[in-house]
Structure 1
């Protein structure tokens, strides 16, 4: 999971972490970092042919992000559901994005990123966390 630059800038980290802590998920590790372009291009490689790709990379380079390793029963699917619709304005109020929609947001500036599959989660965790300790889910 990634807490995106807009969430860090708007000081929404606590609100996001509170939603996670109010579930059965375990927060395994968390790191505040500045992404490199290499990391972001690898992370979003499935979107490289989309017209918004360069804007997404630029946005994600615009400030610090927080990368999290979260575990729990069916964590990938359940965390994805907890995140809500990628458009905060369409997300259900009980989701992270729906709850934070009062702070603005759109499909790109949508507060968080969650993995959408087990394989993507493994790939993404290996991008953001220590390469000497590869992740296997």
Structure 2
């Protein structure tokens, strides 16, 4: 069984969408292995988003991701990464299809409600980053 990391971002928590998002995952028979709530530290945010450090929006994204509580979870299931990536939709909410989490609830490219690992390797690294080994 595959595992993936999900982060429900500050806008998802503030807008009280956590239950709705978790319900969508459970309807797909995905298993919540671990869940925790916390405020992402600046160091963790900078490490997690290092791949976009060169872009102008980097500092705004770090400020946003550390602004209030997020929900971290480990989901498990057959082909969970592919399933979740389909469920969440395109990174840019304006391009995300209706019926996807980002298409239904997102606001822009990084105020997009949710993060999900995009590969097995990324999932392994990200789960370790936020939950430890």
TM-score by length of 2: 0.91
The runs of 4+ residues in structure 1 deviating greater than 4 Å are none
Measured in 2, the distance between the counterparts of 1:62 and 1:97 equals 20
Q: Aligned-residue CA RMSD in angstroms?
A: 1.1
Secondary structure, counterpart of 2:122 in structure 1: helix
Answer yes or no: is 1:84 the counterpart of 2:89: yes
One of 114, 117, 127 as aligned partner of 2:119: 117
Measured in 2, the distance between the counterparts of 1:120 and 1:55 equals 23
- How far residue 89 of structure 1 moved from its aligned partner, in angstroms, is 2.8
Which structure dedicates a bigger proportion of its chain to strand?
A: 2
Ranked by relative contact order (alpha carbons within 8 Å, sequence separation 6 or more), the top structure is 2
- Counting only pairs closer than 5 Å after superposition, residues 31-110 of structure 1 correspond to structure 2 as 31-101=36-106, 105-110=107-112
In structure 1, runs of 5+ residues without a counterpart are none
Q: Residue by residue, what CA displacement relative to the aligned partner does 1:32-87 show, whole Å, maximum 9, x if unpaired?
A: 01111111111111111122111110000110000010011111121111110112
- How far residue 94 of structure 1 moved from its aligned partner, in angstroms, is 1.9
In structure 2, runs of 5+ residues without a counterpart are 1-5
One of 6, 15, 22 as aligned partner of 1:10: 15
Q: How many aligned residue pairs are there?
A: 128
TM-score by length of 1: 0.88
